[in-house]
Every structure is written in structure tokens, then in C-alpha cells.
């Protein structure tokens, strides 16, 4: 059984201190991500207040079925991520690799479905700019809604992609036996990042797909 322990970096006195610092560092970084996306949520809120009809109309043109599927996919990927960490704790290396790969697969599916959405939306003249549907543009704020939709889901997709890269690196490191039940900090940190990406989507989904379905 693998009993790999981490290298204790020289600035730390104990492994416990090192782990505590790593986790606190990650949570601090996540806070910066919350503020980063938060600025966009602020823009969203400002214009939603100003253009309630535009947002409602725009939202009706998003694909709620695909959006719901994407939500289910990401939430399930959080499950598999958490289970992957559990597997490492139980010294089940192959299971953890499988779960990490599953998580990544969910991430890829999410991106693929999203891409499909974007393609549909392009054909339906829902990209802001001179191709934007004229009747929709006539309702103030509809174009702004879609501008924010692409910027925010686009930034989110970028973060999913980064998450995928992190997952693949973790898969490789796990494959090489770098982790053990007593040391798996990078997986834990990667998991925190992945969960945050999920949380961002948890808010994006109702704010873009469910503004007004009545």
C-alpha cells in the first residue's frame, strides 16, 4: 500500500501546518474568484433592475432543457469529485482515477452541450452586434442580456477548461502513486476549485435560464 507523504517544505515546521496553509491559501484564492465573477453579477444585477422586460424576453430564448441538463451534469461532477477524494482516503487508487476521469468527462460534456447552445443561438440571431435579431433588440435590455450571457458563461467555460486541465494533471499524478491516504493535498485543492466552478454555475443557471418562464 502506498504510504507516500508529502515533502515538507523548509518554511514549514510540520506537515499539519503545511496542509493548513495550503487549504487556507486555496480558500483565499477561491474568494478572489468569487469577487471576479461577482463583478459580472454586479453588472447583471444593475441591468436587470433597469431592464426587467428585456431580461425576461431574452431568458425565454435560452434553452432551458440544455441548461437543466448542464446543471445536472455539473452537480453530478461535484459528486464524483468528492468521491474521488474519498477513494484516495480509502487507498483505492484505481477507483479514484476512474472517478477523476468521470469528473473530467462530465466537464467535457458540459462544454460540448454549451457549444451546441452557442451554435443554435448564433443561428437564431442571438449574438449581440449587427446580427442580433431586430425585433428582440427593440425591447430594451434584451441585447444586453445576451451580451452578459456570453461574457458570463464564457468566463465560466474558461474556468471549466482550467478545471479540466487540473483534473487531468491530478489523474496523472495519482497514476504515478504520488498520493496516499495520508497525503492528497493537491487533489483536495483541485476539488475545491472544481466545486467553486460548480457553484458559479448554480447561480448562473437560474439567472439566465429561468428569469421568466411563465
Partner 1 sequence: MSERSFLNDGVTLRSWLITRDHKRIAILFSIAITAFFFVGGLAATWIRIELATPKGDVVSADTYNKLFTIHGIVMVWFFLIPSIPTTLGNFLLPIMIGARDLAFPRLNLASFYIYILGGIFTLITVIAGGVDTGWTFYTPYSTMFSNSYVLLAAAGVFIVGFSSIFTGLNFIVTVHTMRAPGMKWFRMPLFVWAMYSTSIVMVLATPVLAMVLALIAIERIAGIGIFDPALGGDPILFQHLFWFYSHPAVYIMVLPAMGVVSEIITCFARKKIFGYKFMVYAIAAIGVIGFMVWGHHMFVSGQSMYSGLVFSLLSFLVAVPSAIKVFNWTATLYKGSISFEAPMIYALGFVGLFLIGGLTGLFLAAAAVDVHLTQTYFVVAHFHYIMVGGAVMAYLGGIHYWWPKITGRLYHERSAQLSAALMFCGFNLTFFPQFLLGYLGMPRRYHEYADRFQMLNVLSSAGAVILALAYVAPLVYLTWSLFRGERAPANPWHAKGLEWTVSSPPPTHNFAHPPTVPDEPYSYSPESR
Partner 2 sequence: MSNPSVRTLRLYLIVWLALMALVALTVASAYVKLSGFNLVTSMLISAAKTALVMTLYMELRREHGTTVVFALTGFFWLILMIAPTVADIATR
What residues make contact with partner 1 under the rule CB under 8 A? 9-13, 17, 20-21, 24-25, 28-29, 31-33, 35-36, 38-40, 42-43, 46-47, 50-51, 54, 128-129, 140-141, 143-144, 147-148, 151
User: Which residues in 24-53 contact partner 2 (CB under 8 A)?
Assistant: 24, 27-28, 30-35, 38-39, 41-42, 45-46, 49-50
d(CA 91, CA 30): 28
Binding mask 185-204 for partner 2 (x = CB under 8 A): ------xx--x--xx--xx-
Could you tell me if 146 and 211 are in contact, meaning their C-beta atoms sit under 8 angstroms apart? no
User: Which residues in 73-132 contact partner 2 (CB under 8 A)?
Assistant: 75-76, 78-79, 81-83, 86, 89-90
SS (H, E, C) 104-138: HHHHHHHHHHHHHHHHHHHHCCCCCCCCCCHHHHC
Q: How far is the CB of 37 from partner 2 (least distance, A)?
A: 9
Q: Which is nearer to partner 2, 69 or 108 (CB)?
A: 69
User: Which residues in 144-183 contact partner 2 (CB under 8 A)?
Assistant: 181-183
Backbone angles phi, psi at 185, to 5 degrees: -50, -50
Cell of 180: 496516499
143 interface partner picked from partner 2, partner 1, none, CB below 5 to 8 A per type: partner 1
Q: What are the percentages of helix, strand and coil residues in the chain, rounded to 5? A: 75, 0, 20
Could you tell me if 86 and 168 are in contact, meaning their C-beta atoms sit under 8 angstroms apart? no
CA atoms within 13 A on the CB side of 56: 9
Q: What is the DSSP letter of 148?
A: H
Q: Which residues bind partner 2 (CB under 8 A)?
A: 15-16, 19, 23-24, 27-28, 30-35, 38-39, 41-42, 45-46, 49-50, 64, 68, 71-72, 75-76, 78-79, 81-83, 86, 89-90, 181-183, 191-192, 195, 198-199, 202-203, 205-207, 210-214
Amino acid at each position: 500500500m502506498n504510504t507516500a507523504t508529502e515533502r515538507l517544505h523548509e518554511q514549514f515546521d510540520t506537515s499539519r501546518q503545511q496542509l493548513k496553509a495550503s487549504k487556507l491559501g486555496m480558500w483565499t484564492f477561491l474568494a478572489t474568484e468569487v469577487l471576479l465573477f461577482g463583478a459580472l453579477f454586479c453588472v447583471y444585477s444593475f441591468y436587470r433592475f433597469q431592464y426587467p422586460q428585456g431580461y425576461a424576453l431574452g431568458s425565454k430564448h435560452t434553452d432551458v432543457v440544455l441548461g437543466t441538463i448542464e446543471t445536472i451534469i455539473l452537480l453530478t461532477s461535484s459528486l464524483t469529485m468528492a468521491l474521488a477524494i474519498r477513494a484516495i482516503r480509502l487507498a483505492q487508487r484505481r477507483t479514484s482515477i476512474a472517478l477523476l476521469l468521470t469528473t473530467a468527462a462530465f466537464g467535457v460534456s458540459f462544454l460540448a452541450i454549451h457549444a451546441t447552445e452557442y451554435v443554435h443561438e448564433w443561428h437564431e440571431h442571438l449574438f449581440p452586434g449587427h446580427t442580433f435579431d431586430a425585433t428582440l433588440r427593440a425591447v430594451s435590455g434584451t441585447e444586453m442580456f445576451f451580451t452578459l450571457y456570453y461574457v458570463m458563461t464564457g468566463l465560466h467555460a474558461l474556468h471549466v477548461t482550467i478545471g479540466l486541465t487540473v483534473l487531468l494533471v491530478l489523474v496523472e499524478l495519482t497514476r504515478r502513486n504520488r498520493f496516499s491516504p495520508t497525503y492528497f493535498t493537491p487533489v483536495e485543492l483541485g476539488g475545491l476549485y472544481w466545486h467553486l466552478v460548480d457553484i458559479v454555475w448554480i447561480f448562473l443557471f437560474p439567472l439566465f435560464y429561468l428569469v421568466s418562464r411563465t
